[in-house]
Amino acid sequence: MTEEEREEGSIWDRISRARDIKCKKCGESSPTGSTECQSCHASLKVDEDEEAFSAVAGEERKVHQQLEKIPLEEAKTLIALRKARDEVQAGTVNDEGYRMLVMPVLNMAQMAVAVFDSEPGKKFLARLEGEEADLAKKQYDSFCRFHAGVSTMVQYLQSHDLNHVTEGFARAEKALEDADRIQDRQIEIASQFVPEGK
């Protein structure tokens, strides 16, 4: 991978910006992963102080913060799923409350998988080599498993079978733990290419 390709961002950066990119010059949106506006061809390079979505954290963070470790126990996605599981088991949440906890997480999981499946995501993955390629494949797998776990939790809304909640949560939690470990290594690799003082 060339230095120019590395500057486009790691796969983690791509996932963190899993949404259309709005051009600061003309205001039009371009697909995730675009480096220039499809309308006016202005650069869509992300400012380091710009907010970007972190898939593991489940929140907006400054782009330069993407290399900072988020403790998994502080991940909003996991907190929401745990709360949904605990409240269903305790009988303290109705279907609408449960839906409000799990559906935003399902949407985030779908977004994370979609980045990998997008054309820019596939092109970016194809350029990776060695350990970076292996980590990206493992990260994709962890997000697919996370999505499957959350989807199982959502099935509770139709089945009212507590097994969907407990099994889905266990799968989602394990997948996030795996993603967290992979992120540790990706951050370690990416930090080798960050200029000092950042």
CATH assignment of 72-193, among 1.20.1640, 1.20.120, 1.10.3470, 2.60.40: 1.20.120
Q: Mind listing the pLDDT tens digit for each residue in 110-135?
A: 988 888 888 888 888 888 888 888 99
Here the tokens at position 135 are 């980590």
Per-residue model confidence as pLDDT tens digits over 83-105:
999 999 999 999 999 999 999 99
pTM (predicted TM-score): 0.68
Question: Which pLDDT tens digit goes with each residue over 22-52?
Answer: 677 787 766 555 667 777 877 766 544 444 4
Residue where the block lists tokens 């809304």: 157
Distance, in Å, from the CA atom of 102 to the CA atom of 151, rounded to the nearest integer, reads 9
> Alpha-carbon torsion 115, 174, 80, 181, what sign?
negative
Domain definitions of the chain by residue range: 3-67, 72-193
Question: Which residues, 6+ apart, have CB-to-CB distance to 18 below 8 Å?
Answer: 32, 53, 55, 111, 112, 114, 115
